């Protein structure tokens, strides 16, 4: 039985976006599957005391250099969004609504939303933009538009985030393999070895 | 003319310890030299608002998993020190006193102090331990012991740290190549490409 990888991310996290491009290929090469869990990092920060990168003295300036450079390092398209960070509420709701019906299509939606925001400059905090992006990967717009204001769907991002917090997740991206935590796009080398060799 | 690498670190930083094992070989392979700059992260945190890892909710717990695992990932000896973090004052003073006479011997001293603390469980915040470790790499104990209480030597760590802060350094390890900053042991892959290919 292949080890599953739990992949936690916020739709407004550039490093989460980079990891989203890389994690499936890394897991697949080891015969493993990835379960995607978008979360709301704002709720996590209420518990962890963390803050969005741009708000942190010195680190914010550094991130403005490191994020686009890391994108180039991995060969991933990146254009820093005019509005950053944005709320991932609409994107998360769309994801969990879709995941309940078709998890693989939900992953394609997540990647399309990430690209829309970090490569194409579209504001995915807008429910209409989320619906448009979903339509581009073959998800019917009217059904999604209705779902986005369904109370059960609206609750999904918060409960997914609470569950993540209870597992120790404090940042994006964050991976859990057999209970073992790995934080950051820059831990994918260790995730890869963990999947290939077991605990090291 | 080969590009020099400025390497900033705190003697109480495990990720700085890992980088200290790796940076010289990476730079040397590209024909580059490394200038080592131990600093006092406590003074940096006064400006950046940063805190030592163990004091940060959730991240502290994660570090207790990540630090020894990262040591194993790189094949570097690591035994978590009973007292952590400790002050790097004595180690920094010894380093800068030695660097003024023999920069390469100062680097060997830095690596020996790192190993003494993170592999051998010796408390390098003690001036006597610092003198003992220095003696083991061939630095005369009595001369160093006298230097450690010399006012000019005592000032060196603080002024090195102020200079680092003025260059934007906010963590350990931190690298600057041609004015370009790289933060973290996990950015050494990008440092390596930067040295090999120039800006990317």
List, in order of start, the domains of chain A with CATH numbers: 5-197 (3.40.30.10)
- A187 to chain B, any CB pair closer than 8 A? The answer is yes
**Digitized pLDDT (tens) for each residue of chain A, 200 residues in all:** 578 999 999 999 999 999 999 999 999 999 999 999 999 999 999 988 888 888 888 899 999 999 999 999 999 999 999 999 999 999 999 999 999 999 999 999 999 999 999 999 999 999 999 999 999 999 999 999 999 999 999 999 999 999 999 999 999 999 999 999 999 999 999 999 999 999 99
pLDDT at B3: 80
Give the strand order in the sheet containing B174-177. B34-38, B5-9, B174-177, B180-183
**How do strand A180-183 and strand A174-177 relate by DSSP bridges?**
antiparallel
Rounded (10°) angle between helices B188-197 and B14-29? 20
pLDDT at B68: 98
Q: How far apart are CA A114 and CA B197, in angstroms?
A: 29
CB contact under 8 A, B59 and A200: no
Q: Taking 70 as the threshold, does the pLDDT of residue B191 lie above it?
A: yes
- Residue among B69, B169, B187 with most chain A CBs within 10 A, to mutate: B69
pLDDT at A55: 84
Q: What is the DSSP letter of A158?
A: H
Whole-structure pTM value: 0.95
pLDDT at A1: 56
pLDDT digit string (tens) for B66-98? 999 999 999 999 999 999 999 999 999 999 999
pLDDT at B1: 56
pLDDT at B56: 87
Burial of B68 (0-12, 13-18, 19+ CB in 10 A): middle
pLDDT at B130: 98
Picking from A49, A170, A186, the nearest residue to B186 by CB comes out as A186
pLDDT digit string (tens) for B3-61? 899 999 999 999 999 999 999 999 999 999 999 999 999 999 998 888 888 888 889 99
Picking from B73, B186, B187, the nearest residue to A200 by CB comes out as B73
Q: How far apart are CA B35 and CA B99, in angstroms?
A: 10
CB contact under 8 A, A48 and B66: no
**Percent share of chain B, pLDDT over 90:** 91
- B179 to chain A, any CB pair closer than 8 A? The answer is no
State yes or no: ipTM above 0.85.
yes
Q: How far apart are CA B106 and CA B100, in angstroms?
A: 9
Picking from B48, B62, B190, the nearest residue to A183 by CB comes out as B62
């Amino acid at each position: 039985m292949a080890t599953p990888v739990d992949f936690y991310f916020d739709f407004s996290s550039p490093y989460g976006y980079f990891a989203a491009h890389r994690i499936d290929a890394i897991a697949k090469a080891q015969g493993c599957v990835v379960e995607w869990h978008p979360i709301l990092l704002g709720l996590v920060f209420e518990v962890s005391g963390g803050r969005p990168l741009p708000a942190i003295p010195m680190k914010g300036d550094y991130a403005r250099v490191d994020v686009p450079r890391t994108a180039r390092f991995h060969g991933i398209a990146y254009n820093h969004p005019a509005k950053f960070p944005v709320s991932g509420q609409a994107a998360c709701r769309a994801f969990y609504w879709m995941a309940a019906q078709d998890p693989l299509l939900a992953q394609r939606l997540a990647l399309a939303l990430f690209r829309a925001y970090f490569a194409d400059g579209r504001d995915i905090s807008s429910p209409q933009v989320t619906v448009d992006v979903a339509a581009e990967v073959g998800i019917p717009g009217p059904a999604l538009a209705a779902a986005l204001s369904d109370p059960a769907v609206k609750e999904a991002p918060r409960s997914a985030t609470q569950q993540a917090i209870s597992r120790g997740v404090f940042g994006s991206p964050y991976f859990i393999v057999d209970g073992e935590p790995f934080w950051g796009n820059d831990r994918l080398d260790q995730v890869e070895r963990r999947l290939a060799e077991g605990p090291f």
